[in-house]
Amino acid sequence: MTMKNPLEERPNTRMKQKGFLTMLKAPLPLILILADLSVSIASASDAYPTIPGTGDCLRTDGLVPVRREVYGNGRIIDITHRITPEMPSFERLGQILWLAHSMKNGSSFNFSLMKLPAHTGTHVDAPGHYFDQYFDAGFDVDTLDLEVLNGPALLIDVPRDKNITAEVMESLKIPRGVRRVLFRTLNTDRGLMYKNFFDTSFVGFKEDGAKWLVKNTDIKLVGIDYLSIAAFDDDISSHLALLESREIIVVEGLKLDDVPTGLYNVHCLPLRFPGAEGSPIRCILME
Ligand SMILES: *[C@@H]1O[C@H](CO)[C@@H](O)[C@H](O)[C@H]1NC(C)=O
Ligand SMILES: *[C@@H]1O[C@H](CO)[C@@H](O)[C@H](O)[C@H]1NC(C)=O
Ligand SMILES: *[C@@H]1O[C@H](CO)[C@@H](O)[C@H](O)[C@H]1NC(C)=O
């Protein structure tokens, strides 16, 4: 399969040239993690004067780091959103990266700290997210089943004029035996993950849709293309329906732009973080 490179083609893709240039104007510490030693994109400023002998021999003029959505001619498709301070979030992100040690400040290395809500960007929910008893009992992201998070998955489009109700679920005719489904919705068409605010009009599961999935399908991994699996008005009831059995894993905020529907192998790996009821996750699709 050949894939268009969304970086070149899509006007609203974050990291196209213009977006990247805008980022360069962001506070210096925020962007430094993006540059490695050989491709430093930062230039000296009054705030961060170059320390003589640290890096001025490495010429990086004209070197631009490559940022990709697709690897190996489409063999690997990245369905994870980049984490940026501007991305939509339940809680305002603000500064998420700090240089704790900086070469420009005399350290022999750059070393950043990060601070993020556990449910930032593309992320996973553990049962403890909506069940206090499960939280206390330790059902955190470290307990999620990697077998469920990795394996054959269907990427499907859902009708654009509705939230995901029982009726919609039934109409999708997902065969029994399908264990992983990624739902692409109007959220992708509207580019909601590329806006800089949390839009409550996103599409998600209505309570009856979530209950229908639990009762009538074998789906154990449910993915969606905005920050919540549940429609805003059914936030609690849909999460409760999906998370109650502790057998279904919910992945939210997937980047499904320009990916053909069909059968893939999905690979999703949360951080191994005891006590966390959510975690940013890296998800890819493979042919
Ligand atoms: C981080 O390290 C690179 C590579 O030496 C250097 O060019 C850059 O100025 C450093 N950044 C800061 C803020 O110290
Ligand atoms: C650099 O050092 C100065 C003086 O100690 C300090 O005020 C400043 O916050 C430091 N900046 C960084 C990025 O470490
Ligand atoms: C989905 O539900 C939300 C409220 O939870 C609503 O704002 C939105 O318009 C609905 N979307 C569609 C396509 O019906």
Give nearest CA residue, ligand 3 atom 6. 201
Total number of domains constituting the chain = 1
Whether residue 83 is contained in a domain is answered as no
Give the CATH number of the domain where residue 234 resides. Answer: 3.50.30.50
What pLDDT is stored for residue 130 in this prediction? 94
What pLDDT is stored for residue 57 in this prediction? 63
Whether residue 36 is contained in a domain is answered as no
Whether residue 82 is contained in a domain is answered as no
Range of the domain at 169: 123-286
Whether residue 184 is contained in a domain is answered as yes
Give nearest CA residue, ligand 2 atom 6. 105
Whether residue 273 is contained in a domain is answered as yes
Residue 44 has pLDDT above 90, yes or no: no
Would you say how long the chain is, in residues?
287
Residue 235 has pLDDT above 60, yes or no: yes
What is the best residue among 161, 201, 227 to mutate for testing ligand 3's pocket, by most ligand atoms within 8 Å of CB? 201
Residue 86 CA to ligand 2 center (angstroms) comes to 25
Q: Label the pairing between strands 70-71 and 111-114.
A: unpaired
Whether residue 263 is contained in a domain is answered as yes
pTM: 0.80
Using the atom order of ligand 3, give the atom closest to the CA of residue 160: 13
Whether residue 252 is contained in a domain is answered as yes
Whether residue 91 is contained in a domain is answered as no
For the segment 98-124, the average pLDDT, to the nearest whole number, is: 96
Residue 117 CA to ligand 1 center (angstroms) comes to 27
Is the distance from CB of 168 to CB of 224 less than 8 angstroms? no
Q: Angle 95-5-270 (CA atoms, 0-180°, nearest 5)?
A: 45
Residue keyed to tokens 């489009």: 157
Percent helix, strand and coil across the chain, each rounded to 5?
A: 25, 20, 55
Residue 105 near ligand 2, beta carbon < 6 Å: yes
- At 36, the pLDDT band (50, 70, 90 cuts) reads very low
